[in-house]
Structure 1
């Protein structure tokens, strides 16, 4: 049993979290992860309205009696979602764990803490993690450069970022970006993390609500089959390498601006990828951990497998590398 500060703080069995993913974090997947002993996460903004989110939370609660959370990703845009209404829907639904991401979550953290809701905030740097700690979050999820989606602008991989956070933070934190199996969990724990967050790996599970064609593409892909877009705009995003992502990169390299690529990167196109199974239909996010994905198991089985692999790896290393005579 891998018992960490994170499992104790959040009342879960295993230190494995299924992070919030747009169009992916639905009730079936979150419930399956939680039933497997991890922490499943519903993505709030996947639901078109706050009322729809309430319904999705109720569906998840009907599928599992284990703890699960809700992700609320905050973005700065002209047409912002009604965040206060989504926040209230989460509170009114009795959710006990929230994962925030994106922009400064201070106002939302204050409201959630007033209702004794535990908050995990996703960060991409030590400085942002320290700010999250100062405003009162209960844990941090630290994203290394390997992660899908927005890995920040510092380009620091987990091998350095995780121990740097371990040195700086007082609260529990989980490592995200590049994790797909028990070897990664064992490594993260050794580097000082209290668990891991997996996104890409959970996309390739039975309960994942994306098209089987996309799951199979991830299984077949390698670690080099992603592309960084928006680098010139200082809003880097890691996506699957396809004709659309290549076109976006070429336009921006020629001096184009966001207005010149906004139709190519529209979220509705990415949603169609997951729903229709055409990997060339738009931009869709995936991490370099896809190079470690080999199968499409049930999500709960995956959680248990990852933990068993990590335990075996840690015990095996202790027995094969450390000479008990030399340290006695």
Structure 2
């Protein structure tokens, strides 16, 4: 057992979180994460309407009686969704934990906390993490440059960003980006985090609803096979390396505008990757940690393995280093 401020305050067994992932955060995966003693998030905007979100929450409750949450990601969009209506669906469904990512969480945090809902905000900088704390969130997930999706524009890796955030925040900190196993969990705790938030690793589990071909590609990929798109637009995103993402980077480098890449990066095309297994149908998120992933376990196997590995590292390997006598050669 690894007990932290986060596990105590959020009522979960293990300091491991499955963050929101578009087209992925559905009932089967979220319930499996919850049943394994970790914290899973339904991705609100994966559901076509707020009523569909209500139904997905109800479906998840049929699969688990343990805590889970809903992710609400607020990002620039060609057609902005009705965020307030999704927020009301979360409240109406009796969800007790929400993960907000993207824009300033203040407008949503106030409404959610009125209903006793704990709020986690995903931030990519210490500045934004402090702002989130100021507006009343209960925990911050700090996203290092290694992460899938949006790592921010400052390119600070987790080895620096995690302790920098933990040093100044008073609320629990989750380390996100580059974590896929017990070594990453132990390292995050050593850096001052109270838990870890993983996306790519949970993407590649048996309960993940994406096409098996995508999971096999993650296993086959190394840490070198991602692309950073939208760099010239000030909205950097890390996605898997494929024909489409390389084309997007090429257009951006040639001075192209968003209009020139809009069709290539559409969510409709990205969804086809996950549903049909066509790896070049569109862009799809993947973090550098895919280079550490070499199997497709059940969620329970993954969580149990991570906790056991982290515990072994903390209680044995590191303890032995401290206790090891200095040899005569090194004295």
Query: For the superposition of Structure 1 and Structure 2, which TM-score range results when normalised by the shorter chain?
Result: over 0.9
- Residues 60-107 of structure 1, C-alpha deviations (whole Å, 9 max, x = no match): 000000000000001233521111110000000000000000011111
Q: Distance in 1 between matches of 2:72 and 2:305?
A: 28
Q: Which residue of 2 aligns with 1:79?
A: 79
- Residues 128-167 of structure 1, C-alpha deviations (whole Å, 9 max, x = no match): 0000000000000000000000100000000000110111
Structure 1 gaps, min length 5: none
Q: Distance in 2 between matches of 1:162 and 1:248?
A: 30
**Partners of 1:25 and 1:43 within 8 A in 2:** yes
4+ runs deviating over 3 angstroms: none
Is 1:241 paired with 2:241?
yes
Q: Which residue of 1 aligns with 2:43?
A: 43
Q: Which residue of 2 aligns with 1:145?
A: 145
Q: Distance in 2 between matches of 1:324 and 1:289?
A: 32
With normalisation by structure 2, the TM-score equals 0.97
Q: Which residue of 1 aligns with 2:287?
A: 287
Q: Distance in 1 between matches of 2:207 and 2:161?
A: 31
**Partners of 1:34 and 1:300 within 8 A in 2:** no
Q: Distance in 2 between matches of 1:293 and 1:68?
A: 25
Q: Which residue of 2 aligns with 1:116?
A: 116
- Deviation of 1:260 after TM superposition, in Å, equals 0.4
Classify the secondary structure of the residue corresponding to 1:319. Answer: helix
Q: Which residue of 1 aligns with 2:11?
A: 11
**Partners of 1:37 and 1:304 within 8 A in 2:** no
- After superposition, the Cα gap between the structure-2 partners of 1:285 and 1:78, relative to the gap in structure 1 and judged at 3 Å, is closer
With normalisation by structure 1, the TM-score equals 0.98
- Taking only aligned residues, the RMSD between alpha carbons, in angstroms, comes to 1.0
Q: Which residue of 1 aligns with 2:227?
A: 227
Counting only pairs closer than 5 Å after superposition, residues 31-180 of structure 1 correspond to structure 2 as: 31-180=31-180
Q: Which residue of 2 aligns with 1:20?
A: 20
- Deviation of 1:324 after TM superposition, in Å, equals 7.2
- Residues 108-144 of structure 1, C-alpha deviations (whole Å, 9 max, x = no match): 1000000000000000000000000000000000000
Is 1:256 paired with 2:259?
no
Q: Which residue of 2 aligns with 1:319?
A: 319
- Deviation of 1:257 after TM superposition, in Å, equals 0.6
- Residues 15-34 of structure 1, C-alpha deviations (whole Å, 9 max, x = no match): 00000000000000000001
Structure 2 gaps, min length 5: 327-331
- Deviation of 1:315 after TM superposition, in Å, equals 1.1
Q: Distance in 2 between matches of 1:95 and 1:198?
A: 21
Q: When the two structures are aligned, how many residues end up with a matched partner?
A: 326
